Chains A and B, each alone.
Chain A
């Protein structure tokens, strides 16, 4: 029934009773990532919350073949899979590397940049929960300014979030897209599209994390939606250099009714020590990017 309503693959590849937290944004996102990628896919990922979700030997909660790797090596692991599958003529299989923001923005960046530059035929997915969540909410370069983490416990994080999207775009990829589990159909459509494209593709999913961000599990979709409605997260895709807004971001851009970032910030415990000056800086950070995006969407 929902397959007609939402036009999504009805199959579930993530089985009930997996190990991720209540209300985990990654779980919701991954449900749709797998629905879109479906059979003939192999995923590889390092230590992170996704490893927890996949489960402990000798059982796993995911029905798609998966290979564990070490933290900095996700894209290298994928490159090896691509080479191996090529050697045995299995070019019908999509290789997907997935890591958290710690495993991407920080520790995995050189392997990822290498694979992207070589044009390795794979999809790289970064699920961005804005910290090293699996090990207890340490700060990463994806953590936004003003957030409390276990390694910025007093003064909050002082630096703005690293713009990984611009770094990845500089690799001239055939496809790059941003997604959010608060908009599962937008996410699904982008992964379906990514699977059809050849070459190195980069997908970034903004996943809300209840324990790491300090909000109730029931609010995961609401927080994800607010991230988009305040422009903290912009939904777009860049296909062969052509920039396009999608979904909710597209209507926000058309109507010009983006909300102020305070609407997003005030609902999360991690921002409780944010200063007024940091809030202003965060708003400026969002507005600068938003205006750049608007210009590109017009052009």
Chain B
């Protein structure tokens, strides 16, 4: 990707945050209550449907689960699809949970 091909007049380079910090788009943020989160409870890889359905790919399927709030757009799909109701959408500005 780094080598410049002189036959190409305009070549873009991959970058995280191409559209800036898309976390700024949010009015609600997802907050995970790990005591309700299936992989945290079972202490092994399980569920991770939030990871599967996040359109931005900003959920890290680790135990405990991590959400990259710098780029999460706050769509709320993860909260909607969570079978354990572990994720809630909280108004930005309010305290966690």
Contact = CB atoms under 8 A, between A and B. Distances in A.
Contacts of A172: none
Contacts of B71: 16-17
Contacts of B92: none
Given A1-B45, A5-B45, A17-B71, A58 B12 contact: yes
B12 A59 contact: yes
B18 A17 contact: yes
B17 A217 contact: no
Contacts, number: 121
A19 B18 contact: yes
Contacts of B89: 218
Interface of B is mostly: loop
B49 to A, nearest CB: 9
Given A4-B45, A16-B71, A22-B25, A221 B77 contact: yes
A216 interface: yes
Interface string B46-59: 10100111111110
Contact of B77 (A4, A15, A23, A54): A23
Given A5-B46, A217-B76, A59 B53 contact: no
Interface in B3-39: 10, 12-22, 25, 39
A63 interface: yes
A185 B53 CA distance: 11
Interface of B: 1, 10, 12-22, 25, 39, 45-46, 48, 51-58, 61-63, 68, 70-71, 73-77, 79-81, 89
